[in-house]
Chain A
Amino acid sequence: MNRFFEIFFVIWSWLSALCLVGAVAAILGFLCVKGFPALNVELIFGNTEPLSALLLQKQVFDGLFPAIVGTLCLVVLSVLLAVPLGVAAGIYMAEYAVGYVKTCCDFLFDILAGIPSIVIGLFGFTLAVFLHKNFSDQVYPCFLISSISLAFLVLPYIVRSTQISLEEIDPAIRNTALALGASRLQNIIHVLLPRALGGICSGVILAIGRCAEDTAVIMLTGAVAIAGIPRSILGQYEALPFYIFYISSQYADQAELMRGYGASLILIMLCTLLFLVAFLVRKRIAYQAFYKA
């Protein structure tokens, strides 16, 4: 009986592995087969000259260029907002926090990491409405609101990766500079942070990936199907994941659908690249921040 169960379990394990690899291969293969034919200069720039589009001289109407630029701008602003706050909070958690402050913040960050992104999107949207009603008629769901919401979304990843990579440092190294008369802050700045930099960077790269792929937040906070290049932080904008989502339900003809496949392929290459870099930077830290609750 036991013998039978053991053999069954081994077979099961092999089957699961095959099944998972098969599924991933099917997804990637499907995208590649469908998407590669669509992948060309026209997909990105439409009928506009690539050079004049890049120099922002001409608008691109039927290409992915505005969506790609939108996603890039979104990522940059969100990460710029989240990194200083997140790294500072992570340093505090690792080096200063004790007792109930630590327990309390720990709990709050766990919740923040677990809040569904659509709820954060809802929060961003209501924030915009609230500001619109109470402060200025100019405020609508917009690029800035999206960036703030996304910054909230990725904040726990940055906090956690900073905290974990600081806490992982060998106590012997921690004491080296202290024994030489370094203050707590000097120790952090000159010794601990440089050591933790790899881990912090991979956390930031993961955050970038998360910003680039998230759709639920931006669909509530100002991403639209057609807006052109983002011109103001208070304006609406296009983004690659939202474009894919939009195409999947609203495509009018085969040509548009093909552009959807092309966009998917571009997005997946972008995200895979980011994750590969993150895992190269420091594999271990990366997923601890991601999967440890």
Chain B
Amino acid sequence: MTRFQEAICEKLLLSAAWTSGSIVVFIFAFMLFLGLPLLSGGHFFSLLTAHWAPQQGSYGILPMMAGSLFLALLGLLFSFPLSLGCACFISVLGPAKLRFLLRKVVELMTGIPTVIYGFVGLFLLVPLVRDIFGRGGLSLLSASLMLALLIAPTMILFFCDSFDRVPRSYLDAVDAMGGSKVQKLLYVMLPNSVHGIAAGITIALGRAVGDTLLALMLAGNAIHIPHSCLDSARTLTSHIGLVFSADFESLEFKAIFACGITLYLFTAVLVLVVRGINHRLRRPL
């Protein structure tokens, strides 16, 4: 193979990398360009703070942002303790066979399609919630419970990973002192995995905010700022899915680009946060 061919191939590979990377920039630029009519004249911030009232010409996405955040945080609230417990079970606390089994179950969960969670949620969980609370079948509560299940495997596998990275010598030291399994976990592994746990939560938050189907199918989609778990709510993602059918030229439609841009920027911020955490992780103590 000649040097010339080598150089050509390297250039080809480089252009593949740049093409893939530029898609990311391209997506953002495209949305910005199409959402421009709304953003021009400094309306962007008013978009973020105003309410949604198309009849009065107000296309604020505040209720959707509140819905997204409420839903994601509620999901995280349910999911985090569950995931931490499961991760500890898999890494240390469970009996060997059950640990292996639980891990397989978690890995299997990563393969279950989101639409299935939504479908089962709709026909199993929603009636249940309605029976128990008397109202609020299609509500933040139903959606966040399913969401908790959806993001649990992400967190569990991530936590297990960061437990595994705790240096062997620390664990041996505790074992040599006669520490029990749970002591080893609580006093050595958890404190040494704080960064990993933080990164896992951030990534799970990203998935929770980015999820469309559960919100769309289970949260009820009413446009208002939710006040309780049993309220119906609409998220940024489901708003995009719902307004989609409207007339493409209308301002109502253009507003979904504001949703898209907000989601995009939120993702970018989360990526930066995770990178910051990982950077600290790598820094020698």
Contact = CB atoms under 8 A, between A and B. Distances in A.
B208 to A, nearest CB: 10
B274 interface: yes
B25 A123 contact: no
Given A111-B268, A183-B1, A6 B182 contact: yes
B48 to A, nearest CB: 17
Contacts of B115: 213, 215, 241, 244-245, 264, 267
A191 interface: no
A34 B122 CA distance: 14
Contacts of B260: 119, 122-123
Given A13-B94, A31-B116, A248-B122, A122 B105 contact: no
A291 B111 CA distance: 13
Contacts of B211: 116
A245 B118 contact: yes
B96 interface: no
A167 interface: no
Interface stretch (A47-55, A56-64, A72-80, A92-100): A92-100
Interface residues of B, number: 91
Interface residues of A, number: 90
Contacts of A130: 30
State the main secondary structure of chain B at its contact with A. helix
B77 interface: no
Contact of A123 (B31, B84, B199, B217): B31
Interface of A: 5-6, 9-10, 12-17, 19-21, 23-24, 26-27, 30-31, 34, 84-86, 88-89, 91-93, 95-97, 101, 104-105, 107-112, 114-123, 125-127, 129-130, 152, 155, 159, 183-186, 209, 212-216, 219-220, 241, 244-245, 248-249, 260, 264, 267-268, 271-272, 274-276, 279, 283, 287, 290-291, 293
11 contacts: A6-B186, A9-B185, A13-B86, A13-B89, A16-B86, A20-B149, A21-B105, A108-B22, A109-B24, A122-B257, A152-B23
Interface of B: 1, 5-6, 9-10, 12-14, 16-25, 27, 30-31, 34, 81-86, 88-89, 93-94, 98, 102, 105-120, 122-124, 149, 152, 154, 157-158, 161, 180, 182-183, 185-186, 199, 202-203, 206, 209-213, 217, 237, 240-241, 244, 248, 256-257, 260, 263-264, 267-268, 270-271, 274-275, 278
Given A13-B88, A108-B21, A245-B118, 5 more contacts: A16-B85, A23-B149, A89-B21, A119-B210, A215-B115
